[in-house]
Amino acid sequence: MIQGEKRKGVSYYFGDLTDYLNIHDVLTDFKPDVIIHLAAQTSVAYSFTHTTEVFNVNFLGVVNIAEAARRVLPKLKRFIFSGSVEAYGIQTKFPTKEDMELRAASPYGVAKIASEKFLKYLNQAYGFPAIIFRNANSYGRQHNHQFVIESMMYQMYNGKSPIKLGDPTPIRDFILSLIYLLYIN
């Protein structure tokens, strides 16, 4: 399911989250104990012009992998889902608390909320072991300068000064959220 550098002793499966049968077959073959679902179409701006694609990947993809896991992996220990702070949308009180009303301000945020609701349903109806965390500004190997971390790194690497940010007002706590996730029982 992961595309990247090949490493010895690691099995690689290539597929499409919108293809339920492929996911079902992969999970039947691989039988993981834990699934960490990080895959998504990640551009909020893109979601305004490609709403159907974003919903297919970010919501239907979650439905497909979670439903296949529920059916194929009865002993699954954890399904960790990467939500997004975009689910909170525009808030008027700070700091943003986990139990605040979700007010998505983009199709991307709506798809993330729908995914969370579906996973909560699976948990309540079937005891599906879903954990949802809402992270901000994930960094990967996409090299996309539209995202804040990549943009800052690119600017620093190229000697830009001062570093320019789009909207510097959001406050994000990168480390604390990760520490909490690691220690969930």
pLDDT value, residue 77:
94
Q: Return the higher-pLDDT residue of 10 and 179.
A: 10
Q: By CB neighbour count within 10 A (0-12 exposed, 13-18 middle, 19+ buried), where does 26 fall?
A: buried
**Which residues belong to the active site?**
108
Q: Which domains does the chain have, with CATH numbers?
A: 1-135 (3.40.50.720), 143-185 (no CATH)
pLDDT value, residue 97:
83
Region 115-128: mean pLDDT is: 98
Instruction: Return the minimum-mean-pLDDT range out of 11-25, 41-55, 83-97, 148-162.
Output: 148-162
- Beta pairing partners, 79: 35, 130
Q: Which pTM was predicted?
A: 0.76
